[in-house]
Structure 1
Amino acid sequence: MSKIHATAIVDSKAELHESVEIGPYSVIGPNVVIGSGTVVGPHVVIEGHTTIGSDNKFFQFSSIGAAPQDKKWKGEPTRLTIGDRNTIREFCTFNTGTVQDKGVTSLGNDNWISAYVHLAHDCQVGSNTIFSNNAQIAGHVEIGDYVIMSGFANVHQFCKIGAHAFVGMSTSLTQDVPPFVLLNGNPAAAHGVNIEGLKRRGFTREQINGIRSAYKTIYRSGLTLEEAKAALIAEEATVPADVALHMRAMREFLDTATRGIVR
């Protein structure tokens, strides 16, 4: 308990690993669970039914696990879950879920969350993402692994962003984004494939070329989405399995999109 600052307020019912550090004037509520090696800086409030994994770092003035900003919420014990090795910078706000959806807001592992980021109720964020300052996502948004959200980008409720997509600065998203796509603008427009990000993550030239080919089929061929999906199925049969895997991810995303895709 020596790692908990004397001015911090930690409810006796909270479950903290003995290695957790709590900074000055932070507040930890009764239904909070925090795993080993996590460091909570000064002036952080962690409340609600919130479960946090290991080796996370919370910087000052964040609000974690507060009630959802949803008028339908009537005090139900909804949850927030945060994985391992995440960095959460200053003034972030993460809310719990609602019973109208999954009942849980979740953040995976190894994410870099910059200052003033808002994760609203029922959002599902994967792993290895980067959120730049002031990126904001509304309720019920799903964001895949390795997505990059640039500064001041914002996402409408119920949108989905596929893995490895790149959302440019000040982009306003009201539709879904397939995996690997690079987009920017207000309203948002697609501008190709996130090639630089894929290179950094070890994608081969053949895999990137396959993804670019799938992108052209969806965005540049003049085909309807149904026609593009049929064309992709035929194309996937002609390439190696490790290339077809990523092309298929783009095609299958089209079947799950609920708000239409940015196109």
Structure 2
Amino acid sequence: MSKLRVKDYMTRSVVTLSPENTVEDAINLIEKTGHDGFPVVDSEKKVIGYISSIDLLKKDPSSKIKDIMARQLYVAREFMDLRDAARVMFRTGHSKLPVVDEDGKLVGIISNSDVIRSQIERVDPSKVEKFKKTIEKVHNVEVELKRGNVEVDRLIPTQTKVFADELKGRVYEIRRGLAEPILVVKKGKRYYLIDGHHRAVAAKRMGLKHLEAYILEVPDTVELGVEKLIRKRGVKSLADVEVIENTHHPLVEITFKNTD
């Protein structure tokens, strides 16, 4: 199994501040996003500092960020082993590390939440690669793997039920930018959702148009087992997925029973 890298779990869309912003700007941004700190970048997107909520305490609202930001900071690189980034955060007490390229330009941010997510999420790069190789071996075809956005309304689910309590957690993750990519198989113009049904249904309920996904492009001549299954069940879109309201997700139920 390949090692988990920072690039596989970092958030690429990063909220930043400029050195000319004020303390008041930063406070407003915290209230708007819920984040507790932001990288500070110059006009060329180079990281020149970091500002945390603690840095803002008892500061004049009109003070410039450049006058109070931390200038010596830890950063990560995309190719770093995720465990190494986790060690840095743990040993230095930082909850986030800006991710920079060879020129010091910001390309993302990795947080302790991302590290936790890497240990509990269902769709990680190694699992995707294993699924890809299985299709290639069983059907004797070449499968192309891409990563990009897919339209939520075009997803054809391959399971018929999701749990309402799990949906709440997925909504929280999506709003915080913590949701991992879904896994889909693309055949012609059809997109079969293989993994990530709770995320997809949550996105649908939130009115989102796209989700990030691992996309496996399979030749249209290949018929997968899941296609036969969903035809039998009459599943055509996310609207056909039943949301179970009165039953806990199995993991929640087990946890509840074990702590009762």
TM over 0.5: no
Q: Of the two structures, which has the highest relative contact order with CA contacts closer than 8 Å and spacing of 6 or more?
A: 2
TM-score (norm 2): 0.25
Identify the structure with the greater helix proportion: 2
- The structure having more radius of gyration, on CA atoms, is 2
